[in-house]
Amino acid sequence: MSIEAAIDRISALIGDRLSTAKGIRDHHGEDAAYYTPTPPDAVAFPNDTAEVSEIMKICNDESCPIIPYGVGTSLEGHIQPIRGGVTLDMANMNKVLAIHQEDMDAVVQPAITREALNEDLRATGLFFPVDPGANASIGGMTATRASGTTAVRYGTMRENVLALEVVLADGRIIRTGTRAKKSSAGYDLTKLMIGSEGTLGVITEITVRLQGQPESITSATCAFPSMESAMNTVIQTIQMGVPMARIEVIDPTTIRAVNAYKKMELLEQPSLFVEFHGSEAGAHEQAETFGMIAEENGCEGFEWAKSLEDRNRLWTARHHGYFAMMAAYPGTKPITTDVCVPISNLAEAVIESMAEAKARGFDAPLVGHAGDGNFHMTFMVDPDKPEEMVAAKELAHEMNRRALRFDGTCTGEHGVGIGKQKYMAEEHGEGWSVMADIKRALDPNNILNPGKVVQIN
């Protein structure tokens, strides 16, 4: 029973699709988080579910850790093999297996990215709506219960995955769910696997819900005199039942960086970036209602983006906020956060977090999926100043504690990984030990991404 023995046996099974080359191992030793890299002992590239099953049997037999890997865009060290073992890079399983236009669903392999999937869907008039910004893999998005800018309208991966094929720790292959839209037939294994971060099984097929391309899409940015007035606009809009496709908050620091990075001229004030989907009349009505609410809250400037080109420019700017900050603070390391609270507490949580960061000398950019109560503050840290890292971590810690106090969660969409483990007991109480009970039942040898989500040994 050893990692070495497992590697030998997997190598015998898949030949040169198992690699122990340093470059490849290093590439799989870190994601987009800031943790010290921990490369796996080997990386396997399975071609199909049957191979995944055989590899799992070997790893279970040899008690060898196994870590599923999509494209490595996770933000909390999810895919770091902190106890060594074999990384299962799903890159060869990246196909669309079926598109059911009439039923508005598609069956895909885990390594396909959301952009590639939407490319394949273009001719159908359908699209896959979940958009976390990064061009993540659908398997990885499922494993982290990802969401992003459009979740306020279309839901997160939780609402957009109908069924899964999963290989269990002992190599058994299960199908969770059917293509029926709803079912009351027993425990919801689909939802149990979504967000399990590779600790309960390896996802080898995903049936996703699709949406019809709206007849009309309009985007806009609007600037507010204060963060509070922007937040109040969000709360009132949601309460009015306006089916916003996107409603994002962006702070002046981010706007400043984006203006510089993208050569834009957005007002450098607390802002909302919004999008309306619907029929011509419907989207227009939504925009009117929103505009009225925004104006009542003192909105100081509305900029519309109706053409595809203008909309792409706007949302690329939003999604590139991260890179814009990297450009604005060259040489820094970003420490990201990801809290989510009930929207009635959002303004307070945001304003307190910003004030605290400012008091500690950080000009920390803040963006948020405000309609869901989810926001991210990023601390740009000079790696040569350890005191900055300490301060950033303290501030991030305070944000997480604050979110829990406000009846929220320490992670709205990034997942637990390494970074959020320490809040699990506080957020879930005894529920966290129930998660561990489930993990023990499904993975008794603790081979599946060990050390993540739950604490077993």
Which residues ranging from 140 to 159 are in contact with its own copies (CB under 8 A)?
144-147, 151, 155-156, 158-159
Judged by beta carbon, residue 39 or residue 417, the one nearer its own copies is 417
**Residues 238, 249, 326, 350: which binds its own copies (CB under 8 A)?**
238
Interaction of residue 136 with its own copies, rule CB under 8 A: no
Nearest CA-CA partner of 273 in 298, 255, 294, 248:
248
CB 255 within 8 A of CB 266: yes
Of the pair 39, 129, the CB lying nearest its own copies is at: 129
What tokens does 249 get?
């908050």
260 near its own copies (CB under 8 A): no
Identify the residue among 47, 50, 122, 172 touching its own copies (CB under 8 A): 172
Distances (CA, A) of 264 to 260, 316, 451: 7, 12, 44
Least Å from the CB of residue 48 to its own copies: 18
* 212 scored as a contact of its own copies (CB under 8 A): yes
Are 447 and 64 a contacting pair, CB within 8 Å?
Answer: yes
370 binding its own copies? (CB under 8 A): no
In the complex, the smallest distance separating the C-beta of residue 256 from its own copies, rounded to whole angstroms, is 29
Q: Which of residues 15-54 bind its own copies (CB under 8 A)?
A: none
Based on the shown chain and the rule CB under 8 A, indicate whether residue 97 belongs to the binding site for its own copies: no
301 binds its own copies (CB under 8 A): no
The span of 165-173, 219-227, 314-322, 326-334 binding its own copies (CB under 8 A) equals: 165-173
What residues contact residue 355 under an 8 Å CB cut-off, 6+ apart?
A: none
Q: Which residues 104-133 are close enough to bind its own copies by CB under 8 A?
A: 104-105
DSSP 311-364: HHHHHHHHHTHHHHHHHHSTT-EEEE--EE--GGGHHHHHHHHHHHHHHTT---
98 binds its own copies (CB under 8 A): no
Instruction: Look at residues 134, 90, 129 and name the one whose alpha carbon lies nearest to residue 112.
Output: 90
Backbone torsions φ then ψ of 199, nearest 5 degrees? -95, -10
Is residue 411 a contact point for its own copies (CB under 8 A)?
A: yes
By CB under 8 A, residue 312 contacts its own copies: no
Helix (H) or strand (E) holding 369: strand 366-369
Q: How far is the CB of 381 from its own copies (least distance, A)?
A: 23
